[in-house]
């Protein structure tokens, strides 16, 4: 019995020492911010985690969800970038960072997204919320619904700004890990980077000057987003993303004591991440990878291409060669627009699927008329008969 107890004690000490080792290995340098996450974007692998699940107020980092919902509404055709939005009195009453919208003033979705992405404008954020959902309150419901769909377990929104509610009630709450997941989803809409990655711009024909609240957009090579935040309660927050040599990192810092600490720690996280990964280019954009037969089409077959360069991001110590697998259906049916997804390409490393992308049609294929279709069928019958 005594031997068993001693063995358990030794095992416990060994387990604890291993746990401490893992924790320290995940922190490559001293971190002053209360919560930190570093993620490699393509795989979602977490490289650094300091209290990533801790519940904290996000301040204006809140607006990443606003930007995601706007981009998704654009993608589905619900709204367009050139739609004009009339600012309501409620939107114009927002405090904090703003572009000083006047009640009745018109701005496009594009202009308001520029204001949100560059200067974190609260009035612009609420104007967009009202346009999409009819009211700020309904939009907040949509924010929470989308958070649940993404599995953001520590996130709850009460407004689209990140400001502390009047009366001292509970404001928005989230975690660094949740914001990394949200950032990864937002980056599926790379158009957002044209706003968040802009250092200097303007509105109202040059009358309203805009300078990005994220200084790393100017001072860190490859940084093109995503969102800063600050309140007295939240401290200095930043969800940053940067890309170098085909590798993209997402870094989250929450409740940093100063803006300098926030920026320095994000920069160090990026540096650490880029030191760990490499990107290997496997296929070129537009490369033909096969073809498939087309039923009822003016053309009997169509080439299939990869729509963008195919990269696989791997740890630098991995030496195995990536395996490229191409899946193409034997036939498809017209009509087919140019760029229609047909088939897919998978990249595997050591048996694990690392990347999956669609193959798309190189050209448009119109549906054939009845007589052309009859001719094609007859031709196939005769070809089979005389083989």
Q: Give the per-residue SS3 of the chain.
A: CHHHHHHHHHHHHHHHHHHHHHHHHCCCCCCCCCEEEEEECCCCCEEEEECCCCCECCHHHHHHHHHHHHHHHHHCCCCCCCCEEECCHHHHCCCCCCCCCCCCCEEEHHHHHHHHHHHCCHHHHHHHHHHHHCCHHHHHHHHHHHHHHCCCCCCECCCCCCCCCHHHCCCCEECHHHHHHHHHHHCCCHHHHHHHCCCEEEEHHHCEEEECCCCHHHHCCCEEEEEEEEECCCEEEEEEEEEECCEEEEEEEEEECCHHHHHHHHHHHHHHHHHHEEEEEEECCCCEEEEEEEECECCCEEEEECCCCEEEEEECCCCCCCEEEEECCCEEECCECCCCEEEEEEEEECCEEEEEEEEEECCCECECCHHHHHHHHHHHHHHHHCC
Distance CA 374, CA 206 (A): 62
**pLDDT value of position 382:** 60
pLDDT of residue 358: 95
- Angstrom distance (rounded) from CA 95 to CA 118: 17
Predicted local distance difference test score (pLDDT) of residue 166:
87
Report d(CA 223, CA 207) in Å as an integer.
27
Task: Flag whether pLDDT at 371 surpasses 70.
Answer: no
Per-residue pLDDT band at 373 (split at 50, 70, 90): low
The per-residue pLDDT for 380 is: 60
Residue 60 annotated to the active site? yes
Confidence of residue 25 (pLDDT cuts 50, 70, 90): very low
pLDDT class for 368, splitting at 50, 70, 90? confident
Residue the block writes with tokens 């694990």: 352
Q: Please state, as a whole number, how many other Cβ atoms lie within 10 Å of the Cβ of residue 333.
A: 12
Average pLDDT over residues 238-253: 97
pLDDT at site 332: 96
- Alpha carbon distance 142, 121 (integer Å): 20
CB distance 273 to 240 below 8 Å: no
pLDDT of residue 387: 56
pLDDT at residue 385 is higher than 70? no
Q: What percent of the chain has pLDDT over 70?
A: 88
Q: In this model, does residue 5 exceed pLDDT 90? A: no
Q: Would you place residue 1 in the very low, low, confident or very high pLDDT band (cuts 50, 70, 90)?
A: very low
Residue pLDDT, tens place only, 151-186 = 999 999 999 999 999 888 999 999 999 999 999 999
Is residue 346's pLDDT more than 70?
yes
Among candidate residues 35, 41, 60, 125, the one labeled active-site is 60
pLDDT surpassing 90 at residue 318: no
Q: Residue 8: is its pLDDT beyond 80?
A: no
Give the lowest-confidence range in 27-41, 217-231, 276-290, 358-372. Answer: 358-372
| Pairing mode, strands 277-283 and 288-295 | unpaired
**Average pLDDT taken over every residue of the chain:** 90
Rounded Cα–Cα distance for residues 97 and 118 (Å): 11
Catalytic residue selected from 88, 120, 133, 368 = 120
Q: Which of 173-182, 199-208, 354-363, 372-381 shows the lowest mean pLDDT across its residues?
A: 372-381
pLDDT value of position 9: 35
pTM of this prediction? 0.84
Comparing 88-92, 157-161, 180-184, 311-315, which segment has the lowest mean pLDDT? 311-315
- pLDDT at residue 342, rounded to an integer: 96
- Which of 33, 41, 63, 368 is the catalytic position? 63
pLDDT number for residue 6: 32
Residue 123 neighbours by CB under 8 Å, 6+ apart: 87, 91, 92, 94, 98, 99, 100, 101
| CA separation for the pair 1, 349 (Å, rounded) | 48
Q: Note the pLDDT of residue 13.
A: 35
> Between 215 and 18, whose confidence is greater?
215
pLDDT, position 320: 78
Contact present, 280 and 314 (Cβ < 8 Å): yes
For the segment 50-66, the average pLDDT, to the nearest whole number, is 98
Percent of the chain with pLDDT over 90: 83
Looking at residue 168, its pLDDT comes to 81
Taken in order 264, 191, 142, 84, the sign of the CA dihedral is positive
The full set of domains in the chain, from first to last, is: 30-277 (3.40.710.10), 284-385 (2.60.410.10)
Average pLDDT over residues 306-317: 92
Tokens of 28: 């490559």
């Amino acid at each position: 019995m005594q031997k068993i107890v001693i063995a358990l004690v030794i095992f416990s000490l060994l387990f604890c020492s291993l746990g401490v080792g893992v924790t320290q290995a995940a922190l490559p340098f001293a971190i002053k911010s209360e919560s930190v996450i570093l993620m490699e974007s393509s795989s979602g692998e977490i490289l650094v985690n300091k209290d990533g699940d801790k519940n904290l107020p996000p301040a204006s980092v809140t607006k990443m969800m606003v930007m995601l919902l706007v981009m998704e509404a654009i993608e589905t055709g619900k709204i367009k970038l050139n739609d004009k939005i009339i600012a309501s009195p409620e939107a114009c009453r927002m405090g904090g960072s703003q572009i000083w919208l006047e009640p009745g003033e018109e701005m496009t979705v594009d202009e308001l997204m520029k204001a949100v992405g560059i200067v974190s404008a609260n009035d612009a954020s609420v104007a967009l919320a009202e346009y999409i959902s009819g009211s700020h309150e309904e939009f907040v419901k949509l924010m929470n619904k989308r958070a649940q769909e993404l599995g953001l377990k520590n996130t709850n929104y009460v407004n689209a700004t990140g400001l502390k509610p009047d009366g001292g009630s509970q404001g928005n709450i989230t975690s660094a890990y949740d914001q990394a997941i949200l950032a990864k989803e937002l980056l599926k809409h790379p158009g957002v980077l044209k706003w968040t990655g802009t250092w200097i711009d303007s509105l109202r024909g040059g009358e309203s000057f805009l300078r990005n609240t994220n200084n790393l957009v100017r001072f860190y090579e490859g940084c093109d987003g995503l969102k800063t935040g600050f309140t007295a309660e939240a401290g200095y927050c930043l969800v940053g993303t940067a890309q170098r040599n085909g590798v993209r990192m997402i870094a989250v810092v929450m409740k940093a004591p100063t803006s300098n600490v926030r920026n320095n720690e994000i920069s160090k996280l990026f540096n650490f991440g880029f030191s760990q990964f490499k990107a290997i280019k496997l296929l070129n954009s537009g490369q033909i990878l096969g073809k498939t037969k087309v039923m009822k089409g003016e053309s009997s077959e169509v080439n299939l291409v990869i729509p963008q360069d195919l990269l696989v991001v791997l740890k630098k110590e991995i030496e195995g060669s990536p395996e490229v697998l191409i899946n193409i259906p034997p036939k498809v049916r017209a009509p087919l627009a140019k760029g229609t997804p047909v088939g897919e390409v998978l990249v595997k490393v050591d048996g694990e699927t690392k990347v999956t992308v669609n193959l798309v049609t190189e050209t448009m294929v119109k549906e054939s008329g009845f007589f052309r279709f009859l001719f094609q069928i007859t031709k196939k019958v005769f070809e089979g008969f005389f083989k």
